[in-house]
Amino acid sequence: GAVVSQHPSWVICKSGTSVKIECRSLDFQATTMFWYRQFPKQSLMLMATSNEGSKATYEQGVEKDKFLINHASLTLSTLTVTSAHPEDSSFYICSARGSGRTSNQPQHFGDGTRLSIL
Amino acid sequence: RKEVEQDPGPFNVPEGATVAFNCTYSNSASQSFFWYRQDCRKEPKLLMSVYSSGNEDGRFTAQLNRASQYISLLIRDSKLSDSATYLCAVYTSGTYKYIFGTGTRLKVLA
């Protein structure tokens, strides 16, 4: 099945640090990737939709200058949390949707990145 | 009203029981529907897509009711390993994004 790789899986760093998370589709081309955040015991919250070769579309309330998204190729999207603070600590998960024409394309998730800001 | 709603549970059932979850959606233009399973502190994993005519995969059966705007997941002969949170996801092509429900927690008890 489709594989999405996310790296790193765990990050612990000091407040004010910028953290970059990579999301790769390993065996398919992903024209669209999604970035989610999940706080403990809560649902996945979509942060932004990343489209290859164009600007990401951010959900309401998500600061685009704080969460920088780059989707430079069909297999890689990156999320950079700039100047991270303790309230940014969360589980960040990327997903990728294949480039097939049918609308019934599921998305496949990376392993997630657990970010802890001290 | 939330776009996608699920009963958060938990549903506590004994091994071998049959359990069903529903997920309602508000956008009648939604096209594609999926069930995911998420274990604690892990990423969601696709369980099955939901097709208009309903579909079955082993002990799992998914159905779609467009008229009432809900999807369902039925698990037969529950196993301890089925304990997880089950998330429904709805894709609407006009929005180009997937909306997830909050998930339903299932605990299968020995």
Report how many Cβ contacts below 8 Å link chain A to chain B. 52
Which residues of chain B have a CB within 8 Å of the CB of A44?
44, 87, 100
- DSSP 3-state of A86: helix
Name the percent of chain A lying above pLDDT 90.
65
Q: What is the pLDDT of residue A40?
A: 85
CA–CA min distance B100, chain A (Å): 7
Contact by Cβ (8 Å): A30, A53: no
Residue A36 confidence (pLDDT) above 60: yes
State the pLDDT confidence band at A19, using cuts at 50, 70 and 90: very high
The verdict on a CB contact (< 8 Å) between B91 and A103 is yes
Residue B76 DSSP one-character state: -
B102 lies within 8 A of chain A by CB: yes
Q: What is the pLDDT of residue A98?
A: 66
Residue B47 class from Cβ within 10 Å (0-12 exposed, 13-18 middle, 19+ buried)? Answer: buried
B26 lies within 8 A of chain A by CB: no
State the pLDDT confidence band at B93, using cuts at 50, 70 and 90: confident
Model pLDDT for residues A83-100, shown as the tens digit of each residue: 999 999 999 999 998 666
Which of B43, B57, B93 best tests the A interface by mutation, with the highest count of A CBs <10 A? B43
Average pLDDT, stretch A71-78?
89
Residue B17 confidence (pLDDT) above 80: yes
Contact by Cβ (8 Å): B100, B89: yes
State the pLDDT confidence band at B78, using cuts at 50, 70 and 90: very high
Average pLDDT, stretch A52-63?
90
Q: Return the structure tokens found at A52.
A: 């290859």
Q: What is the pLDDT of residue A100?
A: 62
Q: Closest Cα partner for A76 from A117, A13, A21, A116? A: A21
Cα angle B34-A94-A26, degrees, rounded to a multiple of 5: 90
| Residue of B32, B87, B100 lying closest to A103 (CB–CB) | B32
Residue A87 phi/psi, 5° resolution?
Answer: -70, -10
Rounded to whole angstroms, how far apart are CA atoms B57 and A61?
39
b vs e for A92-106, b when ≥16 Cβ sit within 10 Å of the residue's Cβ?
Answer: bbbbbbbeeeeeebb
- DSSP 3-state of B43: coil
| Residue of A6, A43, A49 lying closest to B101 (CB–CB) | A43
Residue B82 DSSP one-character state: G
Which residues of chain A have a CB within 8 Å of the CB of B51?
104
Range of weakest confidence among A68-77, A94-103, B12-21, B81-90? A94-103
